[in-house]
Amino acid sequence: MIVITSAHMEELQRGKIPNDLNQRLRDDINFMLNQEGEAIVSFHPTSYCIYADIVETEFFNDEEMEDIKSDPYAVIKTQD
């Protein structure tokens, strides 16, 4: 998981990849876009920061994906 800002989370939830996003997370998003056509980023807010991570959907069944989507998340469909 990678620490991001609330501004990053908001931009990702609008479907945009922030220019100053952590390079590893940016690379993971771009990899999923190339492989799957979309990337799902899950967010894990704490009292002091927000963690983000890529959801590798092939490892989860439908019920598990619903659990994941009960937390904040974003779906990215383009590299813009």
CA angle, corner 66, sides to 64 and 70, nearest 5?
115
pLDDT for the residue numbered 40:
92
Q: For 60-73, write each residue's pLDDT tens digit.
A: 787 887 777 777 88
pTM above 0.75, yes or no: yes
- Tell me if residue 64 falls in helix, strand or coil: helix
Strands (E), the chain: 2-4, 39-45, 50-55, 73-76
Distance, in Å, from the CA atom of 34 to the CA atom of 20, rounded to the nearest integer, reads 21
Q: Which pLDDT score, from 0 to 100, does residue 42 have?
A: 92
Tens of pLDDT, residue by residue over 23-57, are 999 999 999 999 989 999 999 999 999 999 999 87
